[in-house]
Amino acid sequence: MRSPRCLLPVTCLLLLSSAAGAAPIIVNEYNAVSAANFLSGTAADTTLGRIQGNGGDWVELVVVQDHLDLRGGSLSIDEGNAPLRTTTVLSFSQDSLWSDLRSGTIITVAEDIVNDPTYDPLGGDWWINVQAIDGGATQFITASNFSTSNDNTQITVLDSLNQIWFGPAGEGVMPATGVGSNEVWKLEADPSASITPLSNFTDGSSSTFGAPNQWSGGAFSQNFAALRSVVAPEAVAATLLSVAVALFAIARARSAA
């Protein structure tokens, strides 16, 4: 099912709000920097650095529902202006990587950046990157080029039954206009299930591929603590285990006395 197209602004707002309610996964950021440009001013991406094109075409998602099964889900990416507007659908595979995603996980889909499917929330690794490119591997996602830009890019996330989970989100929804060819589109709020395509999405030069969004020149950053509280880091778990063992030993010693 394709995303709804709205003729009346009020109708569009209602459809978008309804479609995006309690989404298990949201679109968090996408790159709109053209291949010939750099990020605005002297800005640099926190992961990629200051490079021409800012890493090419890429989309960033955040899981906001714990134990999400993304197998068979898809991204529908609309880009460009009529009559040359294009739609690319990228489907997530049946690989076990997608079967049990913890809340707070960041997923990036990139055309020019190779796969990095290492994923270990217990060990503090919350980020998965997969490459979608013509002729590429299909282990994790459709092998197809796609485009994100400052030309009204809009992204819809769908489940395995092609029902909308989130979107469409992007320029033309929020904000209505203004994303430049030296900027990214991003959410300037903490990710959660209450986020909709009409939340505080905007343009800017604070780019954070595979990491929490920043804005106002890095003065503010997304907080993932609530989402990631479902997983105890290994160091904390080890400490709790050590305390439990020590308490058990003390209890045994007292009972034997």
Q: 232 pLDDT band (50/70/90 cuts)? A: confident
Q: Is pLDDT at 255 greater than 80 in this prediction?
A: no
Q: Where are the alpha helices (DSSP H) in the chain?
A: 9-19, 225-228, 234-256
Tokens of 64: 């906001």
CA distance 232 to 43: 34
Of 7-16, 175-184, 199-208, the one with minimum mean pLDDT is 7-16
Q: ∠ at Cα 112 (107, 115), nearest 5°? A: 50
The number of residues in the chain equals 257
What is the separation of C-alpha 241 from the centre of its chain, rounded to a whole number of angstroms? 33
Q: Is pLDDT at 12 greater than 60 in this prediction?
A: no
- pLDDT per residue over 18-70, tens digit each? 444 589 999 999 999 999 999 999 999 999 999 999 999 999 999 999 999 99
pTM of the predicted protein model: 0.85
CB 159, CB 165: distance < 8 Å: yes
Query: Residue for token digits 């960041």?
Result: 106
- pLDDT per residue over 108-130, tens digit each? 999 999 999 999 999 999 999 99
Q: In this structure, what DSSP letter does residue 121 have? A: G
- pLDDT per residue over 189-212, tens digit each? 999 999 999 999 999 999 999 999
Taking residue 237's Cβ as centre, other Cβ atoms within 10 Å add up to 12
Phi-psi region of 5 (alpha: psi -120 to 50; beta: other; left: phi over 0): beta
CB 58, CB 111: distance < 8 Å: yes
Which distant-in-sequence residues (6+ apart) come within 8 Å of 124 by Cβ?
233, 234
What's the number of CA atoms in the CB half-sphere (13 Å) around residue 69?
7
